[in-house]
Structure 1
């Protein structure tokens, strides 16, 4: 097994006040391995009850979008730019 962070570049970002996005950039030889991970596995790891997944095989990218736990910029928002999500997936065993 390998950690996802050794197979791909994982980047998370803000996708507006209500959504955050995680992009998993793969090399051509690792894309199939990452794309085979079930959406439910990612959702469980991220603690998301709802998630949208977009597989982009021509770009070797898996994109995950999930609702923000708090509206961006609200008093309870602890990750205004959505940057912490990448760290959650980077250490995931694949």
Structure 2
């Protein structure tokens, strides 16, 4: 089985304002982009399971020219709140690295 980390050159997460978190998934070449960018592992349902969000709220945009996919979802609580554990959302991508894409 192939993990997302094996077909990407860079995966990052970051804040997208105080109410959203976004992921940038850069594939390692055109072939990997075309093969895996639309896989079930990167579906709204998978993000809902991984990050505890509503799949209807997950936004997904493929950017073929950059061989990347951008996926965003709303934060459970606003950035900087009392229960905030990752203020800039820079650690959220880690659990995606071991997701099986094939």
Same fold at TM > 0.5: yes
TM-align CA RMSD? 1.3
Which stretch shows the higher mean deviation, 34-43 or 8-17?
Answer: 34-43
CA distance in 2, matches of 1:33, 1:46: 24
Which aligned pairs between 1:1-94 and structure 2 lie closer than 5 A?
Answer: 1-8=1-8, 9-26=10-27, 27-38=29-40, 39=43, 40-49=45-54, 50-94=57-101
Structure 1: runs of 5+ lacking an equivalent: none
Number of aligned residue pairs: give it. Answer: 94
* Aligned-pair CA distance for 1:35: 1.4
Runs of 4+ in 1 over 4 A off after TM superposition: none
Distance 1:88 1:5 in 2: 10
TM-score (norm 2): 0.83
Q: Using the alignment, how far apart are the partners of 1:21 and 1:87 within structure 2?
A: 13
Unaligned runs of 5+ in 2: none
- TM-score, normalised relative to structure 1: 0.89
Deviation at 1:89, TM superposition (A): 0.5
Tell me the distance in 1 between the aligned counterparts of 2:48 and 2:65. Answer: 24
Would you say the 8 A contact 1:17–1:72 is kept in 2? Answer: yes
